[in-house]
Amino acid sequence: MSTHIQGQVIAAFGRQYLAELPDGEIITCLTRGKKSDVACGDFVEIKPTAEAQGVIESIRPRDSLLYRSDAYRQKIIAANVTQIIVVVAAEPPFSDELLARCLIAAYDQKLEVLIVLNKCDIADKAAAARLQLAPYYSIGYRVLELSATQDASPLRPFLQGQTSVLVGQSGMGKSTLINGLLPEAQVATREISTALNSGKHTTTHARLYHLNADSHLIDCPGVQMFGLHHLSFGEIEQGFIEFAPYLGKCRFHDCHHTHEPNCALQQAVAEGKIDARRFRLFLDISRPGSQ
């Protein structure tokens, strides 16, 4: 006979979690056994085991699950998010491929997308970054330019009513952005690390912050790779949203858009209707073994 309580996972540190209970209390949780597929943002059933401690017994159905994968393993990023915010910066240079991969994952989970171009105070570098982002502007992705060291507040209206996950390569200024939006975040992270006695893990976990009653923000470690091994060729095709008018119009139904005759995508690229750089990214990402 045990009573389970409900909570939301607000921090994931390897196999240790912090869960927030409906009354605001935060408790430390573990999972049963070795296997752990709990994500930051998950709503869970918890069996209390001791004062402010519990075991996660089950995960409630998710509205979305953002994760990356390679041939060997999956890495869960966040659950129940409604929006992905990809942070890139004027410097250091950002990876086109990583950005494209994040957007494919977002499309697969039906998430809203916002691209943030940070460090726009570095004028000459910002101009080059804007040029790099030009295809994304023209496809219709929302791009917000800001300089987090000066003012992170332009991002606020985009967060309202959403559970957003912030992703980006390290060095893009993601932490500066979080600290600008949530000055108390650094303190909270320190306190939690002390509570968990795991100072060494402070930079390798995901954290959920409440901005207000219906706006939440999940910060996760910087990523250098975003494997999409779990997606099919067709799902990757669809993740390039500007391809939509041409999909299904190739001569061959199983066209891989590489060398086949009468390929609608190749033709659209030749006519300048699809950006050639984006198309090359598609060929790279969809090549068997490189998802």
Cα 108 versus chain centre, distance: 12
What is the rounded radius of gyration, in angstroms, for the C-alpha atoms of the chain? 21
> Residue 51 or 254: which CB sits closer to Zn ion?
254
Helix, coil or strand: residue 121: coil
Interacting span for Zn ion (CB under 5 A) from 39-47, 68-76, 201-209, 262-270: 262-270
Q: How far is the CB of 45 from Zn ion (least distance, A)?
A: 47
CB 131: neighbour CB atoms within 10 A? 9
| Inter-residue contact 57 to 46 (CB < 8 Å) | yes
| Inter-residue contact 193 to 187 (CB < 8 Å) | no
> Residue 137 or 252: which CB sits closer to Zn ion?
252
> Residue 77 or 255: which CB sits closer to Zn ion?
255
Q: Give CA angle at 275 (96, 85), nearest 5°.
A: 40
> Residue 81 or 263: which CB sits closer to Zn ion?
263
> Residue 92 or 248: which CB sits closer to Zn ion?
248
Q: How far is the CB of 264 from Zn ion (least distance, A)?
A: 6
Cβ neighbours for 126, distance < 8 A, ≥ 6 positions apart:
90, 117, 119, 120, 145
> Residue 210 or 278: which CB sits closer to Zn ion?
278
181 near Zn ion (CB under 5 A): no
Buried b (16+ CB within 10 A) or exposed e, 1-11: eeeebebbbbb
Cβ neighbours for 204, distance < 8 A, ≥ 6 positions apart:
13, 14, 221
Q: How far is the CB of 280 from Zn ion (least distance, A)?
A: 15
> Residue 32 or 273: which CB sits closer to Zn ion?
273
Q: How far is the CB of 171 from Zn ion (least distance, A)?
A: 37
Q: How far is the CB of 274 from Zn ion (least distance, A)?
A: 11
Helix, coil or strand: residue 105: helix
Q: What stretch of H or E contains 92? A: none
Cα distances (angstroms) measured from residue 270 to each of 8, 12, 116, 244, 279 = 50, 47, 30, 17, 11
Q: How far is the CB of 275 from Zn ion (least distance, A)?
A: 16
> Residue 148 or 255: which CB sits closer to Zn ion?
255
By CB under 5 A, the residues from 263 to 282 that bind Zn ion are 263, 265
Q: What gap in Å lies between CA 88 and CA 172, rounded to an integer?
A: 5
218 to 257: interface string for Zn ion, x by CB under 5 A: --------------------------------x----x-x
Q: How far is the CB of 235 from Zn ion (least distance, A)?
A: 16
Q: What gap in Å lies between CA 285 and CA 235, rounded to an integer?
A: 11
# residues contacting Zn ion (CB under 5 A): 5
Interacting span for Zn ion (CB under 5 A) from 28-36, 37-45, 90-98, 259-267: 259-267
- Amino acid at the residue 184: E
Q: How far is the CB of 99 from Zn ion (least distance, A)?
A: 23
**Binding stretches for Zn ion (CB under 5 A):** 250, 255, 257, 263, 265
